[in-house]
């Protein structure tokens, strides 16, 4: 009797597992298109290629990465939605277009909740705070002291109004109780050059943007915004709990896989499973780390929650920036 029950349970489990596969019989029927809102060769593009290459192998269909750069990644999502409707059109995106773009742009042309279904987070990336290597500021406490000497005592660079680097710096300033002068640039290349040239004092940036200049002895990293030390720059101390920052201080950029809202739920589930398995591969994790991302697999619901959390968190930072203006 027990044996029978066990067998029945197994059969039931197998049937359940097979159910989604039945619903998407024959999927994918053709090549997949994955829209990326950044140019070929950029970090989000490389990330997309690292994930889609094994994904194509697993699905038995080629995947075309469609680069549609512009407006901080918003164009990529717009174009994905224009092409949508065949269950073969998807996208990868950084957090901005799903969390802050609705606030910083007049009209993104899409509604995150109504038009987009999260599939899974792919990876997260912390930012480091870097200063000129010859600066007197020795550590994070020294930085907060210098910044707190008077309002806007220090100037920092970012990659644009409303960018992750800008918002992270403003979050940091609010938590540390200081105010800094924001100098917007358009790329990390300009920010690092300006710090190295002594024109501005500091900047929050992707670790891989700071690394070459740190190795060249021109920049120094004071802290990192993740909850744990980051393997790409293991010696950089975590900011949380230091220099008056709260213990739960954390600011990360992330990158996720998304689908248009009308995508078959079974397809979304299949993609989530496949991508999670890909991200569990140590070789893939290593490739991601080399370009500054740490794999962050999870459920679709988990990504949805992250979108809601970050929209609220960055929304609060944007409120403060607007109030200060």
68 binds another protein (CB under 8 A): yes
- Phi and psi, residue 263, nearest 5°: -70, 140
Answer whether 195's CB lies under 8 Å from 165's CB: no
- The span from the CA of 126 to the CA of 297, in Å, is 16
99 binds another protein (CB under 8 A): no
66 binds another protein (CB under 8 A): yes
> Between 184 and 244, whose beta carbon lies closer to another protein?
184
Closest distance of CB 133 from another protein, Å: 12
> Between 108 and 272, whose beta carbon lies closer to another protein?
108
> Between 160 and 244, whose beta carbon lies closer to another protein?
160
Closest distance of CB 318 from another protein, Å: 11
Answer whether 261's CB lies under 8 Å from 87's CB: no
CB atoms within 10 A of CB 110: 20
Q: Which of 20, 142, 184, 302 binds another protein (CB under 8 A)?
A: 184
176 binds another protein (CB under 8 A): no
Q: Which token pair is 27?
A: 């999927």
Beta strands in 15-115 (DSSP E): 32-36, 63-67, 89-94
256 binds another protein (CB under 8 A): no
H or E stretch covering 312: helix 300-324
Closest distance of CB 257 from another protein, Å: 19
| Cα distances (Å, whole numbers) of residue 115 to 28, 109, 112 | 22, 10, 6
Q: Tell me the number of residues near another protein by CB under 8 A.
A: 54
- The span from the CA of 69 to the CA of 84, in Å, is 18
Stretch that binds another protein, among 9-17, 20-28, 190-198, 261-269 (CB under 8 A): 190-198
Answer whether 119's CB lies under 8 Å from 32's CB: no
Q: Which of 99, 120, 218, 311 binds another protein (CB under 8 A)?
A: 218
Q: Which of 28, 63, 79, 81 binds another protein (CB under 8 A)?
A: 79
> Between 266 and 318, whose beta carbon lies closer to another protein?
318
Answer whether 67's CB lies under 8 Å from 48's CB: no
312 binds another protein (CB under 8 A): no
- The span from the CA of 75 to the CA of 129, in Å, is 29
Interacting residues toward another protein by CB under 8 A? 39-43, 45-46, 49, 66-71, 74-75, 78-79, 104-109, 152, 155, 160-162, 181, 183-187, 189-190, 192-194, 196-197, 199-200, 208, 211-213, 215-218, 290-291
């Amino acid at each position: 009797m027990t044996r029978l029950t066990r067998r029945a349970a197994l059969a039931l489990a197998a049937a359940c597992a097979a159910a989604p596969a039945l619903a998407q019989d024959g999927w994918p029927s053709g090549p997949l298109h994955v829209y990326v809102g950044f140019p070929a060769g950029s970090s989000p593009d490389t990330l997309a290629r690292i994930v889609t290459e094994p994904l194509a192998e697993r699905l038995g269909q080629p995947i075309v990465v469609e680069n549609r750069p512009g407006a901080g990644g918003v164009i990529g999502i717009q174009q994905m939605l224009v092409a949508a409707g065949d269950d073969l059109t998807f996208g990868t995106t950084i957090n901005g277009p799903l969390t802050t773009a609705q606030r910083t742009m007049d009209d993104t042309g899409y509604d995150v909740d109504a038009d987009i279904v999260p599939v899974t987070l792919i990876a997260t990336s912390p930012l480091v705070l870097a200063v000129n290597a010859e600066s007197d500021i020795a550590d994070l406490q020294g930085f907060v002291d210098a910044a707190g000497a008077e309002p806007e005592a220090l100037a920092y660079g970012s990659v644009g109004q409303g960018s992750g680097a800008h918002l992270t710096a403003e979050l940091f300033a609010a938590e540390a109780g200081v105010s800094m002068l924001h100098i917007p640039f358009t790329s990390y290349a300009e920010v690092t050059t300006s710090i190295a040239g002594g024109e501005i004092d500091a900047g929050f940036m992707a670790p891989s943007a700071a690394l070459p200049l740190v190795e060249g002895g021109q920049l120094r990293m004071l802290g990192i915004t993740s909850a744990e030390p980051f393997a790409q720059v293991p010696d950089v101390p975590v900011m949380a709990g230091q220099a008056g920052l709260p213990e739960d201080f954390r600011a990360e950029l992330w990158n996720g896989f998304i689908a248009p809202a009308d995508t078959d739920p079974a397809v979304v589930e299949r993609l989530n499973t496949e991508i999670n398995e890909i991200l569990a591969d140590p070789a893939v994790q290593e490739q991601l780390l080399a370009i500054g991302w740490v794999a962050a697999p999870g459920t679709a619901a988990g990504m949805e929650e992250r979108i809601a959390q970050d929209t609220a968190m960055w929304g609060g930072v944007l409120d403060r920036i607007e109030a200060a203006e």
